[in-house]
Structure 1
Amino acid sequence: MTRFFIVGLASICLLFVHPAFAQSQSFEQWLAEFRIDAKARGISDKIFDEALGDAKPIPRVIELDRNQPEFKMTFDEYLGKVVSKARQRIAAKKMIEHDDILTKVSKKYGVQKRFIITFWGVETSFGRYLGSFNVPHSLATLAYDGRRSAYFRKELLNALQILEEGHITAANMKGSWAGAMGQSQFMPSSFLSYAVDWHGDGQRDIWATTEDVFASTAYYLSQAGWRDDRTWGRKVSIPSNFTMNGKTAKQLADAKTNVKLAKWSSAGVLAADESALPTADFKARLIMPSGSDGPAFLVYSNFDSILAWNRSNYYALAIGHLSDTLR
């Protein structure tokens, strides 16, 4: 029993030293094999060496991946942080400053200007905080690590393709520890699918070209089903004895019941100011981010488009609230 205990303890300790150290294959060996896959993808040795020639596993990236903080903020705390008064003021100024290009982008892709500005503000504080990690090195670390290697291997290949196409240099491909890049914080796969070269200069520059950032954001949302004939949703008032089809509001929210606004109205749901709901002929579902005792929101199809960007209800509601201050 002592021998098995020692062997087991040694294995546990090996994991705590550094996850990558527990690999049977060295990083250099892994990188040599990965080069073969990259070549098959059309990545030149020149680009590969520029991006990964001096790459080493980054312990901080593994630490962040292993120890992502548990989400403990209440909805009100989160909303107060993301939709701060300072951010609202800056967003309003940016709407005016960039009105010309926002108008053009909005018309082309069918996404309201206020939402384009809002995503920009929430993702990178209007382009001020892009992340300082070398994206190819971070992705290589995560691809080698093994926990989610298949996903990050694909993203690393996508990042190398972006470099091969000349949209950014390896040295300037900065982003988050997980590989989200630029002012719109696109993963490489999202970049290849949705990044836009607004001026047609051959570069989709979501790092430094504001027009490309706005167009890329709007195009992403348009492809996620965005409709510019409606907003994201609204805060509502639920009667204390509310039921619909024999279900409580919380049960309907949990079931993601999606029915016409008229049906919510007939069941007694009102706007937050106690006025009648809009008479628009589309569906809505109930969101109760703090449970039965907290605020309630009816959300429309655009809310689901926001969730395509980030799967958090808190995030999507924050996008909605900040955008509403810009109406």
Structure 2
Amino acid sequence: MDGSGDPQLCFPDFNSSCRRLPLPHSESALLYTLLAFISLLTVTLNLLVIISISHFQQLHTPTNTLLLSLAVSDLVVGLLVMPIEGLRYIERCWLLGRLMCALTPYVGYCMLSASLGHMVLISIDRYLAICDPLLYSTKVTLNRVKLCICLCWACSIIYNGLILMGHIGQPDRFNSCHGECVVVISQISGTIDLFVAFLGPCAIIAVLYMRVFVVAVTQMRVIYSQTAATKTRAALTVKRSERKAARTLGILIVVFLMCFCPYYYPALAGQDTSTSLSYLGVLSWLMLMNSSVNPLIYALFYSWFRKAIKLIITFRILQSRSQEVNIL
């Protein structure tokens, strides 16, 4: 092979270039359009959350600070990780060089781990707010929440640095040709990651939200028993509250499991987790899609977010003293 420009190669000028199987132009155009839509949707939704919480003073609360930090991590996923991963799978080649091969998986894992850590912090926040409301304001302060957020980011950066240490130091060690970026997480590291980054947080979230659900239902039944004069109205309120609590809990847990659980199939099957696996691309994108769903789950259920969107898209936030608008 003399490097004469074979279009079937990732890098026609390199004798060691990987071969590629180009997609039909119509299929490539469709995939690029879908990629652009998903990335833009993820960035837009999370950017709306960031602008809303940052701009309006009434939203400067500990809970919303967690939502703000979560939206930042999901924004980076939509802005950087999704486009790069999409380019990898559509072009069937790694075109961004050795340095980006080392950094891109690390950044992606850090953002996803940070997002997951924020979900745990949000579940703890909701648990304290519902189960210990009298002491919530003294236990959960803005400074403590900011400290927890910093610890969450620090743990994500250090943890993923340890998991991907070999890949960061030598990103081409598993490449068979020029134009690949193969990331391999050993079975041992994958098993540790399964318990630390999935089963542990999943168990914490499930237990806390189940506790929140039980306490919320118990509180509503106490209210029902104490309002005999408005028995019918209270009964309807109990039923609506129970359904709403159950529905929200179901959405949180089911979407989380749907997005993250499939990715850990290789670890559960006793295999190395490698980007060379034919099905790992689909599993990775399921996990990335959680960054699109997060703002819908954690923000769109709030009425203040819908009000904030109206003020943002109508440019009313540019008016003087708009940050003091009553949005709650």
| Greater RCO (Cα-Cα under 8 Å, separation 6 or more) | 2
TM over 0.5: no
What's the TM-score, normalizing by structure 2?
0.23
Q: Which has the higher helix share?
A: 2
More strand per residue: 1
- TM-score, normalised to structure 1, is 0.24
